[in-house]
Amino acid sequence: MLRPHTRLASLAGVLLALAAAPVATGQADSRTLFVVNNGNLEGSVTAMAIAPDGTLSVINRVVTGTRPNTTVPCPGCNPYEVSLSPSGRYLATGHASTNDPHEQITIFTVAADGSITQTAAFSVPGTPMDLTWITDSLLVATRTDTGAIVLYEWVPAGPSLIERDTEYAGTFNAYVVKHPAGPYVYANDTGSARAVRAYRIEPNNTFTLIDTEPTGSNYALELAITPDGTKLYAAGGITQVVGGWSIAADGTLTPLPGFPVAAFGNSPSNVICAPDGAYLLVGHGTDATVRSAAIDPLTGALTPTGAMFDVGLQGTLGDVATLDNLMFVTDNSTALDGLMGIYSFTVNPDGSFTQNGPIVSTAGIAPRSVATWKPPVFRPGDTNCDGVVNFDDIDPFVLSLSGQAGYDAQFPNCDWLTADCNGDGTVNFDDIDAFVALIGS
C-alpha cells in the first residue's frame, strides 16, 4: 500500500490519465416540490418552490400529453405517481391512462433552479401505477394489471430504460415503497389473496421474494416506512383499518402488536411518516380528511392526536407528502368549493396543523401525487461520505472524474458533487488542486 504522502504526490498523475467533460449540476439547489396533474385530457407535472415560511409558488410545468376526448389514446395523460431519484437529478412518473396494453413511464431532469425538462418517455407493458427510485440508475415500478413489480435500469446516455427483472406481486398491486437504508422494497396486493410482500434487490439487479404477509380480509393500499426503517404502515381503504408491521434487519416483516387498528377517519387511502418519525399522517378517501397519529417509537402503536384538515368532497384528497416539519396535501377537484391545487401546512410538535397561506394552483388538472426535495448537506472532498476528508477519499475522487454513472454505482448513498471541490457546480479537472488542498489541510 502506498504511504499517504506517496498517494498524494501521485494523485495528479492518475487524474491526468483520465478524461472527463464538465457536467452541470443536476439537482435543485433549494427546497422543491413536484406534483403530477392526473388529468384525463391533459397530463402534466409541476415543479414548485418551497419558501422558508412553507408557502409554495410554481417554477414551471411540463405537459406530458393531451387529447380531445378519452377515446383517443394518450400515453402521457393521467400521470398517477411520481418519484425523485436519491440525488435529486431525475424525476419519474408512472401513467394510468387506460392506454392498454401499454402505458408510459416518463423521465425528467431537474435543474439547479428546480425547473424540470422531459428527457424521455417509455412505453412499458402493463400499468405503472406506482414507482420508486432505488438509486439514480435503478427504478422499481408496479405492473398493476398483471400483478408484478419490475426493476428497470435507467441509462441517461441512451436514453434507455432496460427491464432487468420482473417478479410476481399478486393479482393486483398498485403501491411499492423502498426501505430507507436496506436493499428492500415492499409491494401491496389487494387482489384475491390480500398481502404485503417484501423483496430484496440483489447485486445482480434481480428481485428475491423474502416474505409474504397476508392481510386477511383487510386491504393494504399505500405503504409507508418510518425514517429509521423499523416499521411499515398501510392504509386499509374501505376495510377501515391501518395495518402495521415491524421490519427486521433482514427486511422481513412481523405484524406489530394490536394491528391492524381501526381507522381514524373514513377509508384511509394515504399514509406517510413525518420526517422525524414522530407522527403518521393519514389521508382518507371517503371523508377527504388528513389526520395525524403519534407513533410509539418502541411498539409502533398509534395514538390519534385529533388534528384534522378537511379537503372537501369525497375523493378529492389526492396525496399527502412531507418535508422537514411541513406537510403538503393535494385537492384534485373544484367540485363544491371551487378549489383545486395544493395546500401547505406546518406540522406542530403536538401533531396539529397550521396552514401556510391559501391553496396554490399547480396550473394543471387534478393534482395528485407529490415528491419533495431538500438539498443534502455534503462536505466538499468527502467523496466516500464518511464524514471526514482524508486519504480514503482519493480513490472515490478519481472515480468521480471518470464519470457520474460509475461513481453513483459504487457510492449510491453519497453524492457525485462532493467532488466539486472548487464550488463551481461542475466536476472536472479544475477540482484537482482544491481536492489536494482539502486532503492536505
- Cβ distance 38 to 26 under 8 Å? no
pLDDT score at 26: 65
Range scoring the smallest mean pLDDT among 7-16, 50-59, 204-213, 341-350: 7-16
- CB within 8 Å of 285: residues ≥ 6 apart: 237, 238, 266, 267, 268, 269, 314, 315, 317
Using the structure block, give the residue that is written with the C-alpha cell 482524508.
390
Question: pLDDT tens digits, residue range 71-110?
Answer: 999 999 999 999 999 889 999 999 999 877 899 999 999 9
Architecture of the 32-373 domain: 7 Propeller (2.130)
Does residue 21 have a pLDDT over 50?
no
- Stretch 341-351: mean pLDDT, rounded? 98
Domain ranges for the chain: 4-24+381-440, 32-373
Distance CA 21, CA 401 (A): 9
State residue 419 phi and psi, 5-degree precision.
Answer: -80, -5
* Cα(234)–Cα(225) distance, integer angstroms: 9
The alpha carbons of the chain give a radius of gyration, in whole angstroms, of 22
Residue tagged 405492473 (cell numbers): 143
Torsional sign, CA 415, 418, 424, 426: negative
Which residue has cell 433482514? Answer: 250
Q: pTM for this structure?
A: 0.85
> Rounded to whole angstroms, how far apart are CA atoms 298 and 309?
28
Sheet harboring 56-66: ordered strands across? 56-66, 42-50, 32-38, 367-373
Upper half-sphere CA count for residue 311 (Cβ side, 13 Å): 35
| Residue in the structure block whose three cell numbers are 460509475 | 406
